[in-house]
A and B are shown apart, each in its own frame.
Chain A
């Protein structure tokens, strides 16, 4: 019976992908309906068992792409150990992308941006919240949802300026003394991160 199930599954999948190459929509566009062909084939093979649920049926559906630009940006800012902001509606965020500081407004072009060590600021009315982000990614979706993920993000007040200066001096010296490519790369990373923290504290 299980052998039949895989044949039925592959038949329904093949029917789906025979359409154009972009048959799979983005997570913001695909409606959260269950595939009826699969459910019918399942019921024929195993009428007494419920069809298996997929992870997407347990998830809240993402907001769909509005036809007009929404007024607010929904931000999800997560770290490996905590969810800093979850579904927060803001006016603008400025993210430290590798291509420079990027301002994100509602209706921003869908983008995937790699982040460099720098300041991320969240603007809500007149409130501005700043975090120093160590590195990460920002996913901007067509429905004005921004998913920002970082490994480490701290409010600027938590950074110790004297340690930053010490670290900067130490890594500048290591960079001068480095011999192998790997040592140079590590020292370079140290210099970049500490310079960014320095600039964040003083700028």
Chain B
């Protein structure tokens, strides 16, 4: 069993498959014609707030939102 199988260049650079796949998908979406491009980018909008917890208390949350003003 070859555990020294050639790794893909992105894994050698420390990237995971999911990151690679998402980058590929984003690049394809950016090259679409209108209105497909607008639909695709709209579909991929995210809105979440993330906060790490330390010592039983939440620290300052980071908000990632593609819908302004919400």
Contacts and interface: CB of A to CB of B under 8 A. Distances in A.
Contacts of A29: none
A193 B28 contact: yes
Given A136-B21, A182-B14, 13 more contacts: A134-B25, A134-B28, A152-B28, A158-B36, A164-B31, A181-B12, A181-B14, A182-B13, A186-B23, A188-B9, A189-B10, A190-B27, A197-B31
Interface string B24-47: 110111111100110010010000
Interface of B: 9-10, 12-15, 20-25, 27-33, 36-37, 40, 43
A79 to B, nearest CB: 10
A179 B22 CA distance: 22
B23 A167 contact: no
Determine chain A's interface SS by DSSP, over half rule.
Answer: helix
Determine chain B's interface SS by DSSP, over half rule.
Answer: helix
Interface residues of A, number: 26
A163 B27 contact: no
A106 interface: no
B31 A163 contact: yes
20 contacts: A117-B24, A134-B24, A135-B20, A135-B21, A151-B21, A152-B29, A152-B40, A154-B28, A154-B32, A159-B31, A159-B33, A160-B31, A160-B32, A163-B30, A163-B31, A167-B27, A185-B10, A188-B10, A189-B24, A197-B31
A132 interface: yes
